[in-house]
């Protein structure tokens, strides 16, 4: 399973976010400061610094966290292709802001001024993305290893577990906050998710969907026949066809 066509095709928001995270992390590592970005009780409630709060959303604390984090951000570009860049930007803003509020609330409850409690990086967005990944991305292949059942989605979950445990207690809490933010988005709290699209009428029977569009949907885990039918109904619009297929899976 992959995130669709290679590269950042049809995923400009993801491209911008990934590049920004990489640049901020590398720049701060050169300056010797990414490990000092973790949010603490003192930073948030006693001596709040807006610049540190903003950088903490983008810059990872270590190279290993950056590698796993950027890989997951890159994979999750599939959601931008599914719902469109505008809706995906709303998802990013909601996930980042809500998870950050959860983190601030958690730090305020823990009241430990002695150390940085939370690691930095876009943990809120990454782990919020695991919610639609779990519910909306179908399994395309399954296999057995040492009497255990696995699927192509297992590798993404393993990368997520590695990132979640990368800084132990400092990274677990931001990850949990991200999952909570993603769950609230899925529950459509405050009506954050826009109303479902009204799908266009089917194309004329003689019009065949583009082969590359069918291949894109197949790469997301849908079977070829269903992908073709959805594209016919959606007039060859991949985003609309994806939504049609996801709604069919949910029924």
Q: Residue 199: pLDDT band by 50, 70, 90 thresholds?
A: very low
Domain formed by 12-191, architecture:
Up-down Bundle (1.20)
Domains of the chain, residue spans:
12-191, 211-250
Residue 195, pLDDT score = 44
149-189 pLDDT, tens digit each: 888 899 999 999 999 999 888 899 999 999 999 999 999 88
Distance (Å, rounded) from C-alpha 201 to C-alpha 106? 49
Average of per-residue pLDDT across 128-138: 91
Burial degree of 3 (CB within 10 A; 0-12, 13-18, 19+)? buried
Fold classified for 211-250:
Helicase, Ruva Protein; domain 3 (1.10.8)
Burial degree of 177 (CB within 10 A; 0-12, 13-18, 19+)? buried
Distance (Å, rounded) from C-alpha 170 to C-alpha 40? 10
Question: Which of 114, 138, 122, 118 lies closest to 74 in space, CA to CA?
Answer: 122
Its pTM stands at 0.76
């Amino acid at each position: 399973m992959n995130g669709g066509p290679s590269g950042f095709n049809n995923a400009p928001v993801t491209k911008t976010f990934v590049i920004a995270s990489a640049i901020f992390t590398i720049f701060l590592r050169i300056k010797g400061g990414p490990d000092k970005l973790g949010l603490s009780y003192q930073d948030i409630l006693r001596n709040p610094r807006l610049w540190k709060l903003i950088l903490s959303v983008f810059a990872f604390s270590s190279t290993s966290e950056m590698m796993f984090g950027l890989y997951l951000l890159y994979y999750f570009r599939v959601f931008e292709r599914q719902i469109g860049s505008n809706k995906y930007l709303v998802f990013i803003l909601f996930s980042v802001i809500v998870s950050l509020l959860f983190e601030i609330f958690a730090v305020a409850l823990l009241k430990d001024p002695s150390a940085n409690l939370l690691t930095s990086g876009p943990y809120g967005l990454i782990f919020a993305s695991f919610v639609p990944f779990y519910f909306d991305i179908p399994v395309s292949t399954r296999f057995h290893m040492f009497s255990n059942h696995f699927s192509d989605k297992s590798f993404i979950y393993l990368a997520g577990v590695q990132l979640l445990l990368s800084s132990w207690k400092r990274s677990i809490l931001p990850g949990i906050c991200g999952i909570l933010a993603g769950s609230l988005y899925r529950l459509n709290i405050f009506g954050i998710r826009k109303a479902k699209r009204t799908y266009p009428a089917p194309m004329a029977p003689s019009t065949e969907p583009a082969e590359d569009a069918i291949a894109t949907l197949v790469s997301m885990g849908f079977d070829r026949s269903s992908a073709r039918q959805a594209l016919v109904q959606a007039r060859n619009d991949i985003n609309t066809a994806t939504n049609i297929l996801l709604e069919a899976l949910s029924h």
